[in-house]
Structure 1
Amino acid sequence: MVAVIGVFGGVVGFGAGWLGRLVLGRVRRGVVAPRLWCEVGVGVAWAAVAVRVAGGMPWWWVGVPLVLGWGGVLLAVCDIRAYRLPDVFTLPAYPVALVLVSVAGLHRPGVWAGALGGGVLLGGAYLLVRVVSPGAMGPGDVKLAGSLGLVVGAVSVGAVLVVLAAAALLTLGAASWLGRGAIPHGPTVLLPAWLVTAFAPWS
């Protein structure tokens, strides 16, 4: 039964990724994504969420990893292809994150405190890096960080610190492996952020 649910989630995610690829190619400062990049990425993410739902993920949290999985794949593809995170995705992420956190906050005490702390922590850290060393952090990364901090912080502020550390290590590792200093940072922060939300230890 769990396998069937996972396959169903993957199929629906594949379709959502296909739609996302079309959107990504039409929005301002978007990119033409290679065929199947978005479809497979969102399909895998949504299949994992479907399996987690079958395993007991509360309904009031499901929207967070689904939305982050969809938007995160589109942003990661755009960053890999064009080294940018478009405002058309990063700015609307704030009201979307607030709505998702509000739903969770109705069912889980303490969610709002963690979300606000996470937003300030992740957004502030990225803004500080941008101010101190503009070449090390793009403006799109800073705009994305606050909304990511909200949803990750809703899990716990400690999770935000884990995402910060993981993103830094992944960025350094990718730069070393590719043999160049300038690499897109979006994917390296989006992946651990999604993992935290998808595998949050809600009872």
Structure 2
Amino acid sequence: MVISGFLAGAAGAGLLRRLPRGADVCWLWCAAATAVLWFVAWALAPPTWLPVPLLVGWLGVLLTAVDLRHRRLPDAVTLPAYPLVGVTLWLCGADPWRALAGCVLFGGFHLLVHVLAPGAMGGGDVKLSGSLGAVLASVSWWALPAAAVLASLVTLALGVRRRVGGVPHGPGLLAATWLVAVAAG
């Protein structure tokens, strides 16, 4: 699983470089971080649920690398995440209506925050939150508010370390969703 994660992370970094706006990220960081997350998911998640934390981990590493370096979440990754997450959840036996409801609730909540306070959250965070909401609702309804709080805590922790230029919220959303997905096992 470690080798697969390493290769998936390296390939993902290569894909990011080929995006129209290009996202230059360290391929080794993406490969190593994905390998670690995949190993932890493999060790903790049940086999029937394993594809979900693997996908969220892979997306999480790639999008975190871009968001921390370039302060954006590319549409070329966030938008294809919807069908990828949907198919993965369906293959893992998740209730599609529950996943759709989570997508609408979590995405809608983040859209509302973005509309009311545009400086507090970027459009990429809003686009990302829907697919992550589908994963969270598939775990449980309580996972939605729990992940929102955990994501805020991660973002606050990043803010302590990175004070200039604001703090991206995408890494917090992704970390919280991955942790909830792994803990669901």
Calculate the TM-score normalised by the size of structure 2: 0.92
Residue 89 of structure 1 corresponds to 77
RMSD between aligned alpha carbons?
1.6
SS in 1 for 2:72: coil
Counterpart-to-counterpart distance in 1, 2:157 and 2:60: 20
Task: Report which of the two structures shows the higher radius of gyration computed on alpha carbons.
Answer: 1
Counterpart-to-counterpart distance in 2, 1:79 and 1:150: 21
From 58, 65, 72, the equivalent of 2:47 is 58
SS in 2 for 1:29: coil
From 6, 16, 20, the equivalent of 1:14 is 6
Counterpart-to-counterpart distance in 2, 1:88 and 1:33: 15
Identity of matched residues, %? 44
Alpha carbons 2:51, 2:92 under 8 Å: kept: no
Of 28-37 and 81-90, more deviation after overlay is shown by 28-37
Cα offset, 1:156, TM superposition: 0.7
Counterpart-to-counterpart distance in 2, 1:39 and 1:89: 17
Counterpart-to-counterpart distance in 2, 1:100 and 1:18: 21
Cα offset, 1:177, TM superposition: 3.6
Residue 170 of structure 1 corresponds to 154
- What is the count of residue pairs matched by the alignment? 185
Alpha carbons 2:9, 2:27 under 8 Å: kept: no
Give runs of aligned pairs for residues 58-137 of structure 1, distance below 5 A: 58-59=47-48, 61-105=49-93, 111-137=95-121
SS in 2 for 1:157: coil
Residue 34 of structure 1 corresponds to 26
Cα offset, 1:181, TM superposition: 6.4
Cα offset, 1:104, TM superposition: 2.7
Counterpart-to-counterpart distance in 2, 1:177 and 1:194: 22
Q: After superposition, what is the alpha-carbon deviation per residue over 1:25-66, rounded to whole angstroms, capped at 9, x for unaligned?
A: 11123311124110111010111122135xxx032x221111
Calculate the TM-score normalised by the size of structure 1: 0.85
Cα offset, 1:23, TM superposition: 0.9
Alpha carbons 2:137, 2:143 under 8 Å: kept: yes
Gapped runs of 5+ residues in structure 1?
Answer: 1-8
Gapped runs of 5+ residues in structure 2?
Answer: none
Counterpart-to-counterpart distance in 2, 1:102 and 1:52: 20
SS in 1 for 2:142: helix
